[in-house]
């Protein structure tokens, strides 16, 4: 993925400010970016570079700074010695200002899903298409892990999930409404057009579309994992209370037996 290209490649681009959510075209004088190879050796994947991008919002009521950094493999190009390898997975992509908008997710959600979600939130403004790719991978991971449905493509998996829900065979907590929401997002513009391809194919979407995917993921974390955890916890509490009550019911008899004074000798 090309998050930050060489210092001299400057283009206007569409962008939505994460501070005020104002959609705008970022012009040359409103952003600055750079990517430099780090002067260190021995890294296991070869040469490493550090990039950053700063944007000032054009909305007069906002004019805030958005600052992101990325660390990824560096390579030599014909004119630059400092451009990141196209298609290489960044070692780190993070929005520093404002801090990434991901919501903290509990530990009982599998770590790879939480990681994809967090990274997608961090880069949604910097690279919506990379964020959407991570979000689709996260959605597929959830369908495979929570619903135990695994097919060749995400599109086939969503269709199989729909059939399972209609047949009443979906896991507990997977509702028609949730599958409708997934279907709705599946049919959205470019996201929809690429659902049938491998989830690793990078899709040209805007920050708005990527944001909708991330909202869907947050909703499913809540409806599937958090709700299931709450159910299990409640059931465990009910079992514990029932066990305590049973123990309390038996206890007086036992106590009485232990503390009852010996019967008086007859006579
Ligand atoms: Zn703004």
Q: Residue 153 Cα, ligand 1 centroid: separation in angstroms?
A: 37
Both 84 and 176 in a single domain?
Answer: no
pLDDT at 78 over 80: no
Residues pairing with 32 in the sheet: 54
Q: Residue 66 Cα, ligand 1 centroid: separation in angstroms?
A: 9
Q: Residue 135 Cα, ligand 1 centroid: separation in angstroms?
A: 24
Q: Residue 35 Cα, ligand 1 centroid: separation in angstroms?
A: 24
Res 86: pLDDT: 54
Q: How confident is the model at residue 155 (pLDDT cuts 50, 70, 90)?
A: confident
Q: Residue 8 Cα, ligand 1 centroid: separation in angstroms?
A: 25
Let me know the angle formed at the C-alpha of 122 by 117 and 124, rounded to the nearest 5 degrees: 90
Q: Residue 60 Cα, ligand 1 centroid: separation in angstroms?
A: 8
Both 184 and 79 in a single domain?
Answer: no
Q: Which two tokens stand for residue 82?
A: 């400092």
Q: 77: domain range?
A: 13-97
Q: Residue 19 Cα, ligand 1 centroid: separation in angstroms?
A: 5
Q: Residue 101 Cα, ligand 1 centroid: separation in angstroms?
A: 15
Both 184 and 224 in a single domain?
Answer: yes
How many residues make up the chain in this entry? 267
Quick one: which H or E segment has residue 34? strand 31-37
Both 181 and 203 in a single domain?
Answer: yes
The single residue listed with the structure tokens 């770590």 is: 111
pLDDT at 149 over 90: yes
Q: Residue 176 Cα, ligand 1 centroid: separation in angstroms?
A: 37
Q: Residue 131 Cα, ligand 1 centroid: separation in angstroms?
A: 20
Question: 132-141 pLDDT, tens per residue?
Answer: 888 888 999 9
Residue 265 lies in a domain: no
Res 2: pLDDT: 36
Q: Residue 98 Cα, ligand 1 centroid: separation in angstroms?
A: 11
Question: What number is the average pLDDT over the span 168-184?
Answer: 88
Enter the DSSP assignment of 30.
G
Both 115 and 224 in a single domain?
Answer: yes
pLDDT at 262 over 80: no
Alpha helices, DSSP H only, in the chain?
Answer: 111-123, 128-146, 154-166, 176-186, 189-194, 207-220, 227-259
Question: 21-51 pLDDT, tens per residue?
Answer: 788 999 989 999 888 888 888 888 788 888 8
Res 77: pLDDT: 46
pLDDT at 242 over 80: yes
Cα gap 1→85, rounded to integer Å:
8
Residue 203 lies in a domain: yes
The single residue listed with the structure tokens 């708005």 is: 208
Which of these, 73, 59, 71, lies nearest to 30 by C-alpha position? 59
Both 153 and 124 in a single domain?
Answer: yes
Res 132: pLDDT: 86
Q: Residue 56 Cα, ligand 1 centroid: separation in angstroms?
A: 8
Report which of residues 96 and 221 the model is more confident about.
Answer: 221
Res 204: pLDDT: 73
Q: Residue 96 Cα, ligand 1 centroid: separation in angstroms?
A: 15
pTM for the full predicted model: 0.58
pLDDT at 112 over 90: yes
Q: Residue 22 Cα, ligand 1 centroid: separation in angstroms?
A: 6
Res 201: pLDDT: 67
Question: What number is the average pLDDT over the span 189-206?
Answer: 65
Both 162 and 68 in a single domain?
Answer: no
Chain mean pLDDT for the chain: 80
Task: Identify the top-confidence range among 83-97, 114-128, 151-165, 176-190.
Answer: 151-165
């Amino acid at each position: 993925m090309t998050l930050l290209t060489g210092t001299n490649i400057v283009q206007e681009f569409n962008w939505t400010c994460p501070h005020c959510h104002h959609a705008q075209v970022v012009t040359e004088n409103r952003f600055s970016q750079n990517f430099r190879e780090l002067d260190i050796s021995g890294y296991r994947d070869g040469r490493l570079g550090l990039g950053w991008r700063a944007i000032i919002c054009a909305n007069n009521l906002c004019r805030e700074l958005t600052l992101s950094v990325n660390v990824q493999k560096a390579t030599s190009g014909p004119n630059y010695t400092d451009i990141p390898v196209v298609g290489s997975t960044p070692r780190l992509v993070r929005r520093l200002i404002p801090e990434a908008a991901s919501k903290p997710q509990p530990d009982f959600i599998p770590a790879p899903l939480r990681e994809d979600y967090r990274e997608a939130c961090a880069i949604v403004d910097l690279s919506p298409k990379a964020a959407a790719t991570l979000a689709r991978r996260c959605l597929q991971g959830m369908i495979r892990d929570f619903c135990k449905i695994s097919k060749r493509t995400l599109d086939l998996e969503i269709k199989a999930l729909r059939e399972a829900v209609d047949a009443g065979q979906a896991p507990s907590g997977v509702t028609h409404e949730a599958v409708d929401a997934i279907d709705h997002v599946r049919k959205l513009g470019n996201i929809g057009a690429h659902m049938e391809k491998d989830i690793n194919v990078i899709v040209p979407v805007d920050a708005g579309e990527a944001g909708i995917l991330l909202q869907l993921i947050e909703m499913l974390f809540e409806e599937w994992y958090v709700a299931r955890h709450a159910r299990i916890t409640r059931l465990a509490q009910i079992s514990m209370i029932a066990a305590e009550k049973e123990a309390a019911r038996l206890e007086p008899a036992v106590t009485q037996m232990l503390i009852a004074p010996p019967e008086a000798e007859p006579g």
